Structure formats: structure tokens, C-alpha cells
Chain A
Amino acid sequence: MREAVSVFVTGIVGVFAGMALLYLTVRLNAFVAGKIDAWRASRGEPAAEPKAPVEDQLP
């Protein structure tokens, strides 16, 4: 059971650490994307817009 307690504690801490890292990633991602969009806007370029799908291109 000692090993089970160890896996239990490590597992919960590991998942929360992983999700906290994901939270920071999402925040950082939004910050960087915002900066890139602002930089593009300052150069008169439009913000990243979805392109038209390429239907007839062969792999």
C-alpha cells in the first residue's frame, strides 16, 4: 500500500502540475499571439485570417 500512496500523491500532484503548465501555456500563447497580431497590424497587414480551403491539391 505504501507504493499505492506514493503513486496516488505523485499522480494528483503530477496532473495539477501538468494542468497548471497548460494554463501558463494558454496564457503565454494568448500573449504571444496578441503581440504578433499587433505587430502585423502596425505594418498594415490584416490579422491572421483563415485561408480558403485547398480542395483540389493532391498529396
Chain B
Amino acid sequence: MMKGFDSLLVQSGFFHMTLGMLVMWVIAFVLIYLAIAKDFEPLLLLPIGFGILLANLPLSDLMQPGQGLLWRFYHHGIQWEIIPPLIFLGLGALTDFRPMLANPRLIFLGAAAQGGVYVTFFVARWAGLSLVQAASIGIIGGADGPTTIYLTSKLAPELLGSAAVAAYSYMALVPIIQPPIMKGLTTKAERVIRMKKGRKPSNLEVIMFPLATTIVVVLLVPPAAALISMFMLGNLFREAKVVDRLTKASQNELLNIVTIFLGLPVGATMNADTFLRPRAILIFLLGLVAFGVSTACGVLMAKGMNLVSSNKINPLIGAAGVSAVPMSARVVHKVGSEADKKNYLLMYAMGPNVAGVIGTVIAAGVFLTLLR
């Protein structure tokens, strides 16, 4: 009988715990704490944190290839490229492109903010990472979680957990990371610039936009088709206003369900053996560089456009070119209102903000075209 108890104890997880697993538990608890107590991207960091905990419980076989529950979520949801495009469907149904259509030149701020993606790619390669790993880290600068996950799962799946956590962590830290860069690169006189109101796009125009954009972007970068097509389909649902049930389902039920099945397996890829390496720290540092450079590039682009245009842009809105929607637009508005309380920048900042989402998808498509 004692032998039976011995056998039960030896085969329990307690006897297979390692120091690394305990460290990963701490990381999981920190993410769960940040999500619950500090409201840091809770929709993603909470399931990711729980996924990390599950992946570091010994003998649980949840990530056992071919058998484990979380492995099935990961394999069929992420490796099969289903979940990130479905997230984009929901995001498209939530996105209003009118601020961008009202003032199309703001699209170039969304383009400039991808500068951080490529600068970080170059720095990461210089730091010794492979081309595909460097691309997966660079894309963090786009501040777009699903695109980061999509690209990393295709190019460097071994970095998926670290890259996703870095992306969502920095997106939560946008209000801390961006303002010093924005203030450092602009003068008080620039921060108080009031922008002219753009025209009002017609209903027909907003309905035609997702169709036209799908054609153009897919023709330009076919590997980005899954993301951009779902994004634009969601937006067409929203703007056509004849499929209200589909719009609401995309915005709510579908988006919420796939968010669960995205976060859990992404967290579960972070086991102690693969995560607790100096490389993870490097990824987090490079992710910070990517966010910072993207912010700076957007602001500098706006300043550059002001040199050649009489219709001045408040350069703060360049920072919204990173596609952390709508967090970075809110940060722009807050920093702008510190300089001039009556300057309402939020709607102007939404233009580069939504353009940045498309810019990041194009950047991912370019990486896939060149490196896959």
C-alpha cells in the first residue's frame, strides 16, 4: 500500500517542478495581477498569464503536440492562421475610417510610424538574431497584437510568446512610453497648432473604401490577404448597415470568443525551457526600441509635412501612427490638451491611428514576401 502512495507521489507534478517553472509562475502571476489590478490590456494579458501558468504545470500535457488541449487551440487556431484574421474581422467591424477619409494625407503618418518596425528589425539582426526572428521582433513596433502574432507564428514561432507579451505589454504602456518622446520632439508652439476640420465623407464613399482597399492591398502584398481581407470585410459589415446581426456578432461574440482562444495558447507557448533565456530580455528591450522609434518617426514625419504644406498638422498626432487603437490617439489628445485645453485632437489623431493598422499589415506583408 505504501508503495502505491509512493508511486502516486512520484508521478504527481510536485516531484517534477523545476526552478524555471516557479519563475514562470511568478511571470504569470505578475501578468494576471497587471491585468486585474492595473487594467493593463486585460482582455489579452489575463488569458496569456493563465496560459503561462498552465504551460508550466509539470506533466499536464496541455501543450503535448497532437494531444494537449492548448496545443490544439494553438495548432488549429494560430498555426492554421484562423484566429488572427478573425480578430481582424471584429476589429474591422469596430473601426471607423471616416477620420482618415476626411483627411487622407494623414495616411502618411501611419506609414512613417512603421519606421520603428524596420529600424528595430535592423538592430535585432545586428544583435545576432536571424532575419526571420528580427522581423518578428521589429513588427512589435507596429503596436498591433494580432499582426505581431500572425507574422511571428509564420516566421519565428519559437518567439511567439515573448513577442506577443512584449507587444501587448507595450501597448498597455503607451501612455507612459509616448508622451516624453512627443514632448521631446516638439515645441510648445507646435503642440498648440489647431488643425482645420476635414471634409465629411459620403456614405457611399465609406462603403466603397473597404472594397477598394482590399483590392489594392491584396494586389500589392498578397501574403497580407488573410488579415486585410477580414479587416475590410468587418468594416464593410459595419458601413453597409444591412447586416446588423453580423456586425454585432463580429464586434462582440466572435471577437470575444477568439480573444480567449488567442490568449490562452499564446501564453502556453511560454514554457520555462524556451522563455527563460537572455533572448527574451533582448526581445523586450528591442520591443521598447521599436515603440519609441515608431512614435518618433510619426512625429518627425508630421513636422516634415509641415515644412512643405501651409495647412499645418499638429505634429503630436504623428505619434498616433502606431496602431494601438484608440490608446495612442487618446494619449495624443491628452498631451495636446496639456498645451491648449481647447484643442480637441482626438478625432484628428484617429486618422493616422487607423492608417497605422493598415500600415502594419502592409509591413507584415512585405516581411512575408521577402523572408518566407
Q: Which residues of A pack against B, CB within 8 Å?
A: 1, 3-5, 7-8, 10-12, 14-23, 25-30, 32-34, 36-37, 47-51, 53-55
Contact = CB atoms under 8 A, between A and B. Distances in A.
A23 to B, nearest CB: 5
Contact of A30 (B101, B243, B244): B101
Contacts of B323: none
Contacts of A8: 118, 121-122
A50 B207 CA distance: 10
A1 to B, nearest CB: 7
Contacts of A1: 125-126
B216 interface: yes
Interface stretch (B64-72, B83-91, B182-190, B355-363): B355-363
Contact of A4 (B100, B111, B131, B203): B131
Q: Chain B at the A interface: mostly helix, strand, loop or mixed? A: helix
Interface of B: 100-101, 104-105, 107-108, 110-111, 114-115, 117-118, 121-122, 125-126, 131, 134-135, 201-205, 207-209, 212-213, 216-217, 220-221, 241-245, 355, 358-359, 362-363, 365-367, 369-371
Given A3-B131, A33-B204, A22 B107 contact: yes
A49 B212 CA distance: 19
Nearest to A14: B366
A15 B141 CA distance: 14
B202 A33 contact: yes
Contact of A10 (B111, B355, B370): B370
A25 B131 CA distance: 32
B205 A7 contact: no
B108 A23 contact: yes
Given A4-B131, A18-B217, A34 B125 contact: no
Contact of B205 (A21, A29, A53): A29
19 contacts: A1-B125, A4-B122, A7-B371, A8-B118, A11-B117, A11-B121, A11-B367, A12-B115, A18-B359, A18-B365, A23-B105, A25-B216, A26-B209, A30-B201, A33-B202, A33-B208, A53-B242, A53-B244, A54-B244
Looking at B100, B105, B241, the one whose CB has the most chain A CB atoms below 10 A away is B241
A29 B367 CA distance: 28
Contact of A26 (B101, B118, B126, B365): B101
B62 to A, nearest CB: 35
A37 to B, nearest CB: 6
Nearest to B361: A18
Given A1-B125, A16-B111, A23-B108, A30 B370 contact: no
A10 B370 CA distance: 9
B118 A12 contact: yes
Contacts of B207: 48
A33 B371 CA distance: 38
A10 B126 contact: no
Contact of B111 (A15, A33, A51, A55): A15
Contact of A7 (B131, B203, B204, B245): B131
Contacts of B110: 19
A47 B244 contact: no
Nearest to B207: A48
Nearest to A24: B216
Contacts of A18: 111, 217, 220-221, 359, 362, 365-366
